[in-house]
Amino acid sequence: MKHILLMDDETSIVQLLTRLLQRSDYKVTVALDGKEGMELYRNDPADLVIVDIFMPEMDGLEVTRQLKAEFPDVHLIAISGAPKNLLHEAKELGANQILRKPFNLDVFLQAIETELGLTD
């Protein structure tokens, strides 16, 4: 079972995405801020990290920067309702894919499958 670390501080988004991912047979660990997410990843690296740009303690851009510096091969998808320029900044910092909220859940699952190498 592939392990996904989901970092987002919006409870409704976390609940929705967690249910969707668990139904798709993924193990999901949740962090409600970037600092907690970094600690969780360092202690138990996930197969994929999904990180929101705007979070307390440490934002998604800093998480992306730090994860890529410490773990260059980490698979990371940045998500946000933020302006596109911030998502593009996340891409420049090393996010493999970026998705702007609200996104289509099928597109979201496809992005995950691509990152995990589960598609042809």
Quick one: DSSP state of residue 22?
H
The answer to whether residues 5 and 50 touch, using CB atoms and an 8 Å cutoff, is: yes
| Range of weakest confidence among 10-14, 43-47, 85-89 | 85-89
Residue type at 82? A
- Give long-range contacts, CB 8 A cutoff, 24+ apart: 85-89: 86/53, 86/61, 87/53, 89/61
pTM value?
0.94
- Collect all residues with Cβ–Cβ distance below 8 Å to 98 and sequence separation of at least 6: 77, 78, 79, 80, 87, 88, 90, 91
pLDDT in tens, 38-83: 999 999 999 999 999 999 899 999 999 999 999 999 999 999 987 7
Query: How far is residue 82's CA from residue 71's CA, in Å, rounded to a whole number?
Result: 25
| Range of weakest confidence among 2-6, 16-20, 102-106 | 102-106
Q: How many CB atoms lie within 10 A of CB 102?
A: 9
- Collect all residues with Cβ–Cβ distance below 8 Å to 115 and sequence separation of at least 6: 48, 75, 77, 96, 97
